[in-house]
Amino acid sequence: MQKCNPKIVFKDYSPNQILLLPPTLEEMIKPDHPVRVVNQVIDNLDIDPLIKNYQGGGCSSYHPRLMLKILVYGYLTNQYSSRKIEQAVTQSIHFMWLSAMSYPDHNTINRFRSERLKGVLKEVFSQVVLLLVEQGIITLKEAYLDGTKIEANANRYTFVWGRSISKSKERIKKQLDELWTYAESVAREELENNEPEGFDKIDPESIERTIISINKALKGKPVDKKVKQKLNYAKKNWPENLRKYEQQERILGNRNSYSKTDPDATFMRMKDDHMLNGQLKPGYNWQISTENQCILGYTIHQTTNDTTTLKTHMESLKESLGKMPDTLVADAGYGSEENYEYLENNDVEAFVKYQYFHKELSKKWREDPYRTDNLQYDENDDSYTCPMGQKINFIGEKIRISDNGFRQVNRLYQVQDCKGCSVREICNKSKYNKRIEVNPRLNHYKSIIRERLTSERGRKYRSQRPVDVEAVFGIIKGNRNYRKFLLRGLEKVEIEVGLLSLAHNLAKIASKN
3-class DSSP state of 269: strand
Rg (CA), the chain: 32
3-class DSSP state of 339: helix
For range 208-217, the mean pLDDT: 82
Q: At residue 442, what are phi and psi to the nearest 5 degrees?
A: -65, -40
3-class DSSP state of 476: helix
CA distance 184 to 213: 11
- All domains of the chain, ordered by start, with CATH? 25-117 (no CATH), 142-151+265-357+454-497 (3.30.420), 160-258 (no CATH), 362-450 (no CATH)
| 278: confidence class by pLDDT, cuts 50, 70, 90 | confident
Q: Tally Cβ neighbours within 10 Å of residue 223.
A: 17
Do β-strands 391-401 and 407-415 pair in parallel, antiparallel, or remain unpaired? antiparallel
For range 443-450, the mean pLDDT: 94
Q: What is the pLDDT of residue 427?
A: 85
Q: What is the mean pLDDT of the chain?
A: 90
Asked if 499 contacts 75 with a C-beta cutoff of 8 angstroms, the reply is yes
- Per-residue pLDDT tens digits for 403-446: 888 999 999 998 888 887 878 878 888 888 888 899 999 999 99
Give the relative orientation of helices 82-91 and 64-76 as an angle to the nearest 10 degrees: 100
Residues 6+ away with beta carbon under 8 Å from 295: 129, 288, 289, 472, 501, 504, 505
- Please give the helix or strand (H or E) that residue 107 lies within, else none: helix 106-111
Do β-strands 327-330 and 142-151 pair in parallel, antiparallel, or remain unpaired? parallel
Q: Tally Cβ neighbours within 10 Å of residue 506.
A: 24
Q: What is the pLDDT of residue 176?
A: 87
CA distance 390 to 476: 56
Asked if 308 contacts 163 with a C-beta cutoff of 8 angstroms, the reply is no
- Per-residue pLDDT tens digits for 45-102: 999 999 998 887 788 899 999 999 999 999 999 999 999 999 999 999 999 999 999 9
Do β-strands 435-438 and 142-151 pair in parallel, antiparallel, or remain unpaired? unpaired
Q: Tally Cβ neighbours within 10 Å of residue 62.
A: 15
Q: What is the pLDDT of residue 389?
A: 85
**Is 70 exceeded by the pLDDT of residue 1?**
no
Q: Which of 316, 292, 287, 315 is nearest to 302 (CA)?
A: 287
Asked if 39 contacts 98 with a C-beta cutoff of 8 angstroms, the reply is yes
DSSP alpha helices (H): ranges in 187-309?
Answer: 204-218, 225-252
Q: Residue 56 carries which DSSP code?
A: -
Residues 6+ away with beta carbon under 8 Å from 397: 409, 410, 411, 412
Quickly list DSSP for 114-161: IIITTTTHHHHHHHHHHHHHHTTS--SSEEEEEEEEEE-SS-TTSEEE
Residues 6+ away with beta carbon under 8 Å from 265: 152, 154, 258, 259, 282, 283, 284, 302, 488
CA distance 511 to 513: 5
**Is 60 exceeded by the pLDDT of residue 198?**
no
According to DSSP, the residues that pair with 384 across neighbouring strands are 377, 392
The amino acid that residue 486 corresponds to is L
CA distance 122 to 495: 8
Q: What is the pLDDT of residue 200?
A: 64
Using alpha carbons, list the distances in angstroms from residue 151 to 122, 262, 268, 272, 482.
Answer: 22, 11, 8, 11, 10
Q: Which of 288, 284, 347, 351 is nearest to 317 (CA)?
A: 288
DSSP-based helix, strand, coil % in the chain, nearest 5: 50, 15, 35
Q: Which of 68-82, 105-119, 179-193, 468-482 has the lowest mean pLDDT?
A: 179-193
CA distance 484 to 151: 5
Q: Which of 125, 110, 135 is nearest to 47 (CA)?
A: 125
Query: Which range, 118-127, 212-221, 264-273, 356-365, is most confident?
Result: 118-127
> Where are any strands of DSSP class E within 327-416?
327-330, 349-352, 376-378, 383-385, 391-401, 407-415
Using alpha carbons, list the distances in angstroms from residue 469 to 48, 148, 341, 475, 499.
Answer: 31, 11, 23, 10, 18
> Where are any strands of DSSP class E within 107-243?
142-151, 159-161
CA distance 447 to 443: 6
**Is 70 exceeded by the pLDDT of residue 189?**
no
